[in-house]
Structures are given as structure tokens and as C-alpha cells.
Structure 1
Amino acid sequence: MDTFSLPGGLGPLFFALACAITLLAGFVKGTTGFAMPMIMVSGLASFLSPEMALAGLMLPTLVTNAMQALRDGLRAAIGAVRDYPRYFAVAGVCLVLSGQLVTAVDPRAIYAMIGVPITFFGVAQLLGWQVSIRPEAQRRAEALLGTVSGVIGGVSGVWGPPLVIYLTAIGTPKAEQVRVQGVAFALGAVLLVATHLQTGVLNARTIPFSALLLAPALAGMWLGQRVQDRLDQATFRKATLFVLVLAGLNLLRRAFT
């Protein structure tokens, strides 16, 4: 299905579909601050190889995350790293290490292990079960969820849900949550691009394909941010949890199909 003249070997119909998926992913990311890799990799992998789908999301993810991280300025972005140092350090190391295994390991077991708790957490929160992380437990939670983010991110390109769980559980305000997610995902995207330039997932065939998906990604991001600016904290939290549940269900779908 993925053979012809456009970058990435796609025909016009499938390339238009790839752009539509990317536009939707950008809109959801602009609204909630995450989920672009989840939407892109699951949508693109329905008609592309897993490696091509992973490569396609690389540049859109990198650019949109950088925009999100720097929306409040460089100083605020640097402050986000200082506020969550364990998460950034642990997730970065685990992402690079697990990225070396992307072509050798069946990721379905990892999808199942992370998909179950993510789905459970999101559904429970939407039904009114309030989960919070006590201040004395935040260091351990940061390290644990940083490990999970890095491992699954290196294998699948989806590393956002564990961080979203953590930020939601400690009651992070909307603006700070979106900024921290942007910084974390931008740094992760840089590491992911560097890792897969080395593994060969990003190459002369896949880089142009990923670059062409930048335009719909940016358009969707712009539209989503207009929506986000109109959401209050409670509505933003519900929207985030809803997308988190979809992320968990998607991981489970990928684990068992």
C-alpha cells in the first residue's frame, strides 16, 4: 500500500489521509497539550509500516512541542525543567536506551502494561474518584513515571500519558501543565529524532515525508490552542482525562490486535 512517487512512498489518497490524521493530532495537542504521537502513530500505522508511521510523527512532534514549550517564553521553559528534574533525567535516559530496541522488540507487552493503568486512572477520575500524590511521594512518583515514559516512548514514539497522569494527580494548574508537557515532550522529541537517525528509522526516504506533515500539524495546533485558551481549569481537566482514556484504550488495542 505504501509504494509510489510522493515522499514516504504514498499515493495521493493515502498522503491526503496522512495529512488529515496529522491535522486532527495537531488540534487535539493544541487543545489538551498532548496526544499527537498517539493519534499519528495509530492512524498512520493503519496503512503504513510501524517504522514509517514512527518516522512520520518525528518532525511534527518536535516542532509543535517546541512551540508549546516556548509559548510562555524561554525562562518559563527552563523553570519547568528545574521543577521536575527527576522526571526529565530518568525519562531521557530510558528513552534513548529503549529506542535502540525499536526494530528488535515486540512492543505489544509494553503497550498492555501501560495501557491498563492509564485507562483505569482516566476512567476513575472521570467517574469522580480523586487520586492525588502526596508531597512526600512525589519524588518516587516522578522517577517511576519518568521510567515508564522513557521506555514506552523509545519503542513506540508515545511517551506522554504517564507524565499527564502525574501532573493531573498533583493538581497542576492548566498553564503550568501545558508548559511542562511541552518542555518534556520537546526534549523527548529531540532525543527520539537523534536516536532514530542512528537506528535508521529516519532516513532519506522518511525525513521528507515527516517534513511534509509539518503544515497540517501546525494548522491543527493553532486551531487547538484557540480552543484551549477558552477552557477553564475544570473543563481542561475533563478534556485531558478524556483524551488520556483514549490513549490508554489505543495502547490496549495495539497490544491485542
Structure 2
Amino acid sequence: MVAAEIWLYLAAASVALFAGVVKGAVGFAMPMIMISGLASFMPAEQALVALILPTLLTNAVQALRQGAGEAWASVRDYKRMIATLVIFVLLTAQAVPLIPQAVLLGALGVPIVAFALTQLAGRQIRFDAKNRGLVEVLTGVVGGVYGGVSGVWGPPIIALLVSLEAEKRESVRVQGVVYSIGSVALLAGHLGSGVITMDRLGLSVWLLPPALAGLWFGFAIQDRLDARRFRRWTLVVLAITGLNLIRRALSV
């Protein structure tokens, strides 16, 4: 392995470790951190494949922390959103090879920066949840379209859970369940899109140990840190990395 490849693997492992810590501590943001961090020094398609297995495994751990019964109950409760999200992930994943690199980098960077800055400004996105069925379907469409292209589907789902005033434990569990199923759909979609290669999948496997180590470390420190301050600094990092993606999009 040449020096450049060693550097890439170590840098990618550092991103996965940090993303795992954040996910364990606050329950979300792993795909956003990984896609923005990894795409800062590797092609966007490679970054997208690299995040698939770490997010799939860590989300499964998060989903099952309260037991399989609770996880299955979340599947039943949010079945409309999950079904819609899966369909649109499978559909939009096929478009990734057709999207120019500059457009893909910009499509990744702009929403990440927008999400981070609105959160830092204290503005929580909410939906009108009076017609829950319709809102779930719309959430699945938005999350699925963006998830198939970038692996990031968190913001609309978080907005839905906030709008429904989901209890904290339920919110974390539902996110784990939805993201796990979405990750399986993302893997299946890109097996058909041609984006996944053995080298890229090998990098994704390489990132599993640091992602899991970070997740468990995040669980351990969850109750010991000032969660608000930690989340704020996470959003700052997201905003910076998202701006770097936009910079790269403009320079391609």
C-alpha cells in the first residue's frame, strides 16, 4: 500500500471514528459527517459507498438497544414513511452515476450547510402533522430522494419526529430503525447503479471498526457531556465541511 493510500485510509478512519462518537452521543448526524468529511478528500461517489456499511451497522445497534420488540413496533408505527423512503432511495440511487461531480458536490454541500446553520440559529424545522399519513409519505419522498443520492436522510425525519413530539427514547429508536432500513435500500440501490466497486466496498469494511468504536464511546459519554454544547460544535463542524464541499463544487 503506497503512502497516499495509507493516508487516505487513516484520514477516512478518523472521520468514521468522529462520526461514530457524535452518533453515539446525540443519536444522529453520522451520514452527514461522513459524506461531508470523506468527500473533502476523495470522489463523492467513493465517499457515498464508504459510508454505507458503517451507517448500516451503527444504525442497527441504535435501533436494537431497547430490544427487537420495540424496534418492530417502530416499523409498524412508521410503515408509510419507511416504505416511501425505501422506494425513492432505490429509484434515485440509479441517477448517481449520471450526475456531474460538481453538481453532486454542490447537492451534498448546500443542504448540509443549510441544516447546520438553521440549527445553530435555533430554528427547528417543523411539519404540520395533523394529517400524519400524508406527512409521513412526504417525509419519505424527501428523505428517499436525497438519501439515494447522498446517503443523508436525517433532516426531514428529525423534523417529522419533532413535529409529532416524539419522546426522546422513541425518537432515537425510530431514527435507528428508519436509517437501518434506508441503509439496506441504499446498498441494494447502488449494487444496481454501478457505483459500488470492490475497492470502494473494501474501504467501507475498513471503516466499520472505527465507526463502532466511536459509537460505543459516544454511548459512554452521552450522559456525562453537556449535550447541547457538544451538538453545537458538531453543527459547526458540519457547516465548515459543507462549505468545503461547495468550494470543491465551484472549483471542479
The TM-score by the shorter chain falls in which range? 0.7 to 0.9
TM-score, length-normalised on structure 1?
0.82
Which residue does the alignment assign to 2:35? 41
Deviation at 1:107, TM superposition (A): 3.6
Answering whether residue 181 of structure 2 is matched by residue 184 of structure 1, we say no
Q: Which has the higher helix share?
A: 2
Deviation at 1:198, TM superposition (A): 1.8
Distance of aligned partners of 1:111 and 1:144 in 2 relative to their CA distance in 1, 3 Å threshold: farther
Identity across matched positions, percent: 41
Which residue does the alignment assign to 2:220? 226
Deviation at 1:203, TM superposition (A): 2.0
> 2:25, 2:222 within 8 Å by CA — same for their partners in 1?
yes
Distance of aligned partners of 1:183 and 1:242 in 2 relative to their CA distance in 1, 3 Å threshold: farther
> 1:115, 1:249 within 8 Å by CA — same for their partners in 2?
no
Which residue does the alignment assign to 1:28? 22
User: Hey, what's the Cα distance between the residues in 2 that align with 1:223 and 1:165?
Assistant: 26
> 1:111, 1:251 within 8 Å by CA — same for their partners in 2?
yes
User: Hey, what's the Cα distance between the residues in 2 that align with 1:189 and 1:130?
Assistant: 25
TM-score, length-normalised on structure 2?
0.84
Distance of aligned partners of 1:116 and 1:28 in 2 relative to their CA distance in 1, 3 Å threshold: closer
Which residue does the alignment assign to 2:9? 15
Query: What is the letter of the counterpart of residue 65 of structure 1?
Result: N
Which residue does the alignment assign to 2:92? 98
Answering whether residue 180 of structure 2 is matched by residue 196 of structure 1, we say no
Answering whether residue 156 of structure 2 is matched by residue 162 of structure 1, we say yes
Secondary structure in structure 2 of the residue aligned to 1:76: helix
Answering whether residue 75 of structure 2 is matched by residue 81 of structure 1, we say yes
Deviation at 1:150, TM superposition (A): 0.4
After alignment, is 14-23 or 179-188 more displaced?
A: 14-23
Structure 1 spans left out of the alignment, 5+ residues: none
User: Hey, what's the Cα distance between the residues in 2 that align with 1:160 and 1:224?
Assistant: 18
- What aligned pairs does 1:95-244 form with structure 2 within 5 A after superposition? 95-105=89-99, 106-107=103-104, 110-111=107-108, 114=111, 118-119=115-116, 121-123=118-120, 126=122, 133=127, 135-230=129-224
> 1:19, 1:213 within 8 Å by CA — same for their partners in 2?
yes
What are the superposed Cα offsets for residues 29-71 of structure 1, whole Å, 9 maximum, x if unpaired? 1112111111111111122111111111111111111111111
Distance of aligned partners of 1:251 and 1:85 in 2 relative to their CA distance in 1, 3 Å threshold: farther
Structure 2 spans left out of the alignment, 5+ residues: none
Q: What number of residue pairs does the alignment pair up?
A: 245
Distance of aligned partners of 1:187 and 1:245 in 2 relative to their CA distance in 1, 3 Å threshold: farther
Deviant stretches of 4+, over 6 Å:
none
Secondary structure in structure 2 of the residue aligned to 1:11: helix
Query: What is the letter of the counterpart of residue 69 of structure 1?
Result: A
